[in-house]
Amino acid sequence: MNTALAGGGVDARGFMQRHGVKVFVAAVVLLFVYFAATTPNYLTLFNVKTIIRDAALVGIMGIGLTFVTLSGNFFLLSMKETAALCIIAFALGMANDYGFVISLAGALAIAVFTGAIQGALIGIGGNPIVVTLGAAGILYGVASWWSDNLVISYPRPHDAEWLGTGSVLGVPNITIAFIVIAVIAELALRKTVFGRQVYLIGANRSTGKATGHENLSMAIKVCIVASVCCAFVAVAFSAQLSSAQANYFSSEFGSSGDFTILVIATVMVGGNSIMGGYGSTLRTSLGAIFISSVDNLMVLKGFASGARVLSVGLMIVFSIIAFAYLRRGRRSEG
């Protein structure tokens, strides 16, 4: 007999089983708020803009990847390589005086083509991890070969600068683009037939198939969306630096770790279901901003890169565990 209950006390063990994850998440949030409030220059308008700007590029790619994950096709491991090929295409266009529009169109066309091929291979039954791992090698190889491993630069001023370095009322255009893309993506998921199909196929592929929604066309569409987001990031990044190189997105030594892993982290930390059918691009956007916030806080606190890479890893692991428990709890309550 549980004497605590019999005496009208609290069943601590039962409480922790039911609410342990929520308590843990609340503790993390409180800890974060405490450090944020006590760190000089952290909660300033300038720094908040810095955090969102920092999250923008990886966040845009994360939004694209969310469509793939929600549709039940896991992840594309070729995100940074797609961006690498697109940035080379764009920069070569700019360096050869084709101008912003044609160079952008070239990069987008490559993204659509490579996304469609990967989507088709996944749609006919290929394992997304294996397919995109292979695609990553091919795309990066083509980018390296095409650029002869050189930095492709084009002189300033040029007609892409507005995107890379411009701002409106002090807000960088890349940040604005991130917000606009996040809103459009969320509306597309919530308010369009395509969006509802993404959730349906992701939640239950058999039901989707029975109702005439094949994964082949869905896989092609979501891979194109993800690749186009990669192309946009590539173009914006090149426009900022007025140059490109195949390895611009390879930050193996960076505090953020590998770029593709960081993009996947935004999806996971946002709480999207790795199995598909549950989540949103809004969650991914917030995941990107949260990772950026923590990284920014750690820099302001004086942490070196090793500790910051560790924090990203821990965020991914804890997010997966916490959101899995929360979803399980919700299902059992329902």
Partner 1 sequence: MNTGKKTILASAAAAIVAGVVSLNGFAASIISFNGPAGEAYIGKFIKGIKATAKLKGYEIEVYENQFNQAEQDQQVQQVLAAGKRPDVFIWWPSDAVAGLGSLRALHRTGVPVLKINQLPNEQDKKYIFGYAGPDDALRARNAGLMMVEAAKVKEASGGKGFNVVAVTYPQSYGGYGLSINAFKEAIAGSGLNIIGEVDEGFGQANGYKGAAKMIAKLKDQGIHFVYGMDDAILTGAIKAFEEANYRMGEDVIAVGTVCNGDRQLIEEGKQYGTTLQSPLHEGQLAIKLVEEYLKNGELRNYINFTPNPAVTKSTMETTALKGYDGKAYTIEELCSGAWAG
Q: Rule CB under 8 A: is residue 311 a binding residue for partner 1?
A: no
Q: How far apart are CA 77 and CA 65, in angstroms?
A: 10
Least distance from partner 1 to the Cβ atom of residue 54, Å:
6
User: Which of these segments, 96-104, 191-199, 277-285, 292-300, binds partner 1 (CB under 8 A)?
Assistant: 292-300
Q: Residues 220-259: x/- map of binding to partner 1 (CB under 8 A)? A: -----------------x--xxxx-xxxxxxxxxxxx---
Q: Rule CB under 8 A: is residue 310 a binding residue for partner 1?
A: no
Among 96, 149, 207, 211, binds partner 1 (CB under 8 A): 149
Least distance from partner 1 to the Cβ atom of residue 158, Å:
11
Contact 272, 69 (CB under 8 A): yes
Peptide bond into 172 cis (omega under 30): no
Q: Is 243 left (phi over 0), alpha (psi -120 to 50) or beta?
A: beta
Q: Rule CB under 8 A: is residue 53 a binding residue for partner 1?
A: yes
Q: How far apart are CA 92 and CA 102, in angstroms?
A: 11
User: Which of these segments, 61-69, 97-105, 214-222, 302-310, binds partner 1 (CB under 8 A)?
Assistant: 302-310
Among 32, 50, 116, 203, binds partner 1 (CB under 8 A): 50
How many other CB atoms are there within 10 angstroms of residue 271's CB atom? 20
User: Which of these segments, 11-19, 36-44, 278-286, 311-319, binds partner 1 (CB under 8 A)?
Assistant: 36-44
Q: How far apart are CA 115 and CA 82, in angstroms?
A: 9
Contact 66, 281 (CB under 8 A): yes
Among 32, 112, 153, 188, binds partner 1 (CB under 8 A): 153
φ, ψ (nearest 5 deg) of residue 167: -150, 160
Q: Which of 123, 132, 110, 113 is nearest to 217 (CA)?
A: 123
Output the six-digit token pair for 72: 């039940």
Q: Rule CB under 8 A: is residue 144 a binding residue for partner 1?
A: yes
Q: Rule CB under 8 A: is residue 90 a binding residue for partner 1?
A: no
Buried b / exposed e along 65-101 (16+ C-beta atoms within 10 A): bbbbbbbbbbbbbbbbbbbbbbbbbbbbbbbeeeebe
Q: In terms of C-beta density within 10 A (0-12 exposed, 13-18 middle, 19 or more buried), how is residue 317 classed?
A: exposed
How many other CB atoms are there within 10 angstroms of residue 172's CB atom? 21
Least distance from partner 1 to the Cβ atom of residue 45, Å:
10
User: Which of these segments, 52-60, 98-106, 107-115, 207-215, binds partner 1 (CB under 8 A)?
Assistant: 52-60
Least distance from partner 1 to the Cβ atom of residue 101, Å:
23
Cβ-based nearer residue to partner 1, 237 or 323: 237
User: Which of these segments, 49-57, 64-72, 108-116, 205-213, binds partner 1 (CB under 8 A)?
Assistant: 49-57
165-184 residues in contact with partner 1 (CB under 8 A) are 165, 167, 172
Q: How far apart are CA 291 and CA 7, in angstroms?
A: 45
Give residues in contact with partner 1 (CB under 8 A). Answer: 40-41, 44, 46-47, 50, 53-54, 57, 140, 144, 148-153, 155-156, 165, 167, 172, 237, 240-243, 245-256, 296, 299-300, 304-306
